[in-house]
Amino acid sequence: MPSIQNYNSDQYGEAPLLELRHLQVEFPTRKGLLRALDDVSFSIMRGETLGVVGESGAGKSLTGAAIIGLLEPPGRIAGGEIWLEGRRIDSHSPEAMRKLRGKEIAAIFQDPLTSLNPLFTVGRQLTDTIQTHLSLTYSQSRQRAVELLARTGIPAPELRIDHYPHQFSGGMRQRVVIALALAADPKLIVADEPTTALDVSIQAQIIRLLKQVSRDLGTSIMLITHDMGVIAETADRVAVMYAGRVAEIGAVDAMIHRPKHPYTKGLMASIPSIRAHRDRLAQIEGAMPRLDVIPKGCAFNPRCAARFSRCLIERPELQDAGESRAACWALSQ
Partner 1 sequence: MMPAVYSASTPLAQSGGETLVQVKQASKHFDVSEPWLNRLIERKPRRFLHAVDQVSFEIKKGETFGLVGESGCGKSTVARLLVGLYDCSGGEVRFEGYPIQDIDRIKESDTTSLRRKIQMIFQDPYASLNPRWTVGQIVAEPLKVHRMLESRSAILERVALLLGQVGLAASDAARYPHQFSGGQRQRISIARALASEPEFLVCDEPTSALDVSVQAQVLNLMKDLQKQRGLTYLFISHNLAVVRHVSDRVGVMYLGRLVEVAPNDVLFEKALHPYTRMLLDAIPDLERTGKDRTPVAGEVPNPLAPPSGCAFHPRCPKAKARCQRERPALTMVDETRQVACFAISDPDFDKRDAR
Give contact residues for partner 1 (rule: CB under 8 A): 4, 55-56, 169-172, 199-205, 207-208, 211, 226-230, 232-234, 236, 252-253, 256, 266-268, 270-275, 277-285, 287-288
Bin 274: left if φ > 0, else alpha if -120 < ψ < 50, else beta: alpha
Shortest CB 84 distance to partner 1, Å: 26
Asked if 63 contacts 40 with a C-beta cutoff of 8 angstroms, the reply is yes
Instruction: Determine whether 202 is exposed, middle or buried from the number of CB atoms within 10 Å of its CB (0-12, 13-18, 19+).
Output: middle
Q: Which is nearer to partner 1, 26 or 236 (CB)?
A: 236
Shortest CB 288 distance to partner 1, Å: 8
Shortest CB 243 distance to partner 1, Å: 13
Tell me the HSE value of 55 on the side-chain side, using a 13 A CA sphere.
16
Shortest CB 205 distance to partner 1, Å: 5
Q: Which is nearer to partner 1, 15 or 204 (CB)?
A: 204
Q: Which is nearer to partner 1, 80 or 112 (CB)?
A: 112
Asked if 284 contacts 305 with a C-beta cutoff of 8 angstroms, the reply is no
Shortest CB 161 distance to partner 1, Å: 20
Element (H, E) at 232: helix 228-234
Q: Which is nearer to partner 1, 106 or 252 (CB)?
A: 252
Burial track 129-151 (b if 16+ CB lie within 10 A, e otherwise): bbbebeeeeeeebbebbbebbbb
Q: Which is nearer to partner 1, 62 or 184 (CB)?
A: 62
Shortest CB 167 distance to partner 1, Å: 12
Task: Quote the DSSP letter at residue 9.
Answer: G
Residue ranges of E strands in 12-171: 18-29, 32-44, 49-53, 76-84, 87-88, 105-108
Q: Which is nearer to partner 1, 68 or 228 (CB)?
A: 228
Shortest CB 5 distance to partner 1, Å: 11
Q: Which is nearer to partner 1, 207 or 318 (CB)?
A: 207
Cβ atoms within 10 Å of 226's Cβ, excluding its own:
15
Beta bridge partners of 23: 40
Cβ atoms within 10 Å of 177's Cβ, excluding its own:
27
